């Protein structure tokens, strides 16, 4: 199977058409999340990260899922990684949203280190709740506005990597 065919298949398996993923990525993952198909969002994240471990969208969606499931192991490393790779991406809209992303990470870090037990018990019962929006939806939306998803996941990755002279693939 050639490279393009593999990409098409992976995208299809993730539950979205190429067109959707390219131009309506934000709407697609938001819809999945809102309807409670959070596992599918994780799949999309992992597929993107399988192509490029530095994919910003993949990392954000993975953090979104882990925090939603209150699975905090490793989440700090992923947040650190997002901040690292985000510095090398120069999309206008994402750059504007970046301070908000840092604020959100601080809030999340606080939650991880100081999660009140009674809150944890209450929140654990909500992990399968439908009808929610993602915490990082403004950043995913900003990436889409910047054309981050206009190319297929691996080529988007290549494009990102080329922006940095210090980043090797």
Partner 1 sequence: MRLKFTLALFTGLFVASSTLMADDGAAVTVLPGNPNPNPVCLGSPVSVSFSGTLTDPSNSTCEITITNTIWNWTASDETGQVASNSNGGASWTFPWIPANCGNETVTASATVTFQGTNCNGGYSTTASGSASVAVQAIHVVSIDGPTAGSLNPPPFAGGQEWTFDVTHSPHPDKHVVVFYKDCIYSSFNIKDGLQVKFQANICPNITSQDINNSEKWSKISGSDSGSLDGPSSFTFMCDTPSLGGVYRFNFDLGLCSDCVCSTNGATLVLPLAGAEVDAIVKADIVRADSFAVYVNAHYYWWQKRTHALIWFNNNGAGDYLGRPDNASYPTVWAYNQVSSDGFGAVATWKGIPIKIAKMSNFIVAYAARKIGVRSTEAWIANFLIGHGNDVSATESWNAGWDVAAGSSYDSTVATMVKYVWDKSDGKNEKLWPNYPPVDNYVAPDSWGDPDHQFTSPGFLYMTNP
Residues lying near partner 1 in the complex (CB under 8 A) are found at 34, 70, 100, 104, 107-108, 110-111, 116, 119, 123, 126, 129, 131-133, 135, 137-138
Pairwise CA distance, residues 139 & 79, whole Å: 13
Distance CA 34, CA 57 (A): 17
How far apart are CB 80 and partner 1 at their closest, in Å?
18
Q: Write out the DSSP string of 102-134.
A: HHHHHHHHHHHHS--HHHHHHHHTTTT--S---
State which residue, 46 or 123, has the beta carbon closest to partner 1. Answer: 123
Nearest CB to partner 1, comparing residues 53 and 116: 116
Least separation in angstroms between residue 135's CB and partner 1 is 4
Nearer to partner 1, 84 or 119 (CB): 119
Give least dist CB 113 to partner 1, A.
11
The minimum distance between CB 146 and partner 1, in angstroms, equals 17
CB nearer to partner 1: pick between 137 and 158:
137
Task: Give min distance, CB of 100 to partner 1, in A.
Answer: 6
DSSP character string of 30-67: HHHHHTT-HHHHHHHHHHHHHH-TT-HHHHHHHHHHHH
Judged by CB, which is closer to partner 1: 17, or 129?
129
3-state secondary structure of 143: helix
Residues 6+ apart with CB under 8 A from 162: none
């Amino acid at each position: 199977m050639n490279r393009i065919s593999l990409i098409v298949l992976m995208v299809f398996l993730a539950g979205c058409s190429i067109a959707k993923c390219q131009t309506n990525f934000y709407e697609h993952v938001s819809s999945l999340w809102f309807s409670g198909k959070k596992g599918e969002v994780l799949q999309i994240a992992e597929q993107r990260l399988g192509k490029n471990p530095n994919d910003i969208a993949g990392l954000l969606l993975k953090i979104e899922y882990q925090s939603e499931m209150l699975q905090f192991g490793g989440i700090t490393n992923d947040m650190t990684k997002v901040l690292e790779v985000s510095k090398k991406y120069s999309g206008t809209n994402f750059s504007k949203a970046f301070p908000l992303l840092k604020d959100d990470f601080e809030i999340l870090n606080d939650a991880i280190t100081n999660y009140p037990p009674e809150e944890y018990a209450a929140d654990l019962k909500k992990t399968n709740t439908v009808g929610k929006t993602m915490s990082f939806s403004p950043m995913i939306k900003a990436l889409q506005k910047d054309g981050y998803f206009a190319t297929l996941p691996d080529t988007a990755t290549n494009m990102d990597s080329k922006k940095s002279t210090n980043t090797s693939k």
